[in-house]
Structure 1
């Protein structure tokens, strides 16, 4: 499904900025994880459009851990997504478009500097 992934985690000292960036880019929604909050942790569950439950989380590090994000998102158009990332203040670190050997893909950095990937599956061969 476009703009969705399996479970993942984003660790950042700027969880509000991460919510704004990913919410605007992919249409994701965010809710506080009440169980984590009871344990003193700021963890936000991430919902993806069309998904029947959370698919990831944002861990607010408070600066106690380095930021990280390692996941790939299926997108309808890798080139267009790269342009949108840059428009939102992110960075394209590598991209391979018109890939004859597989999907178009790119490695990107969000506004907190976290690395993530996007890809567009190859179109099926015409019979």
Structure 2
């Protein structure tokens, strides 16, 4: 069964948000490549939970937190989203070294991501 493997927080100031989550939860932020995108490590790999990221609000598709679900086939999931009355928010995109990803909107207006990973889907992003 597909599981939530990643979350994204929108932030006016991602560096300030990273400092906030480090202070409150001791989550560690690391800038991802040349993008304005900070990966959040929320605990050790042997602990329960998922990791996430912080991105500038201006670059995100919504002002809300986005959860990403890992699937075995992105194309099958895209078909199911459409069949169920959902909407594709972006084109399918490649994330080098990670897999293929798309943002969708459900029938209630909630935005979520779907990822077909080239890595172990249980390991998160």
> What TM-score comes out, normalization by structure 2 length?
0.43
Comparing both structures, which one devotes a greater share of its residues to strand?
Answer: 2
Which has the larger Rg? Answer: 1
> What TM-score comes out, normalization by structure 1 length?
0.42
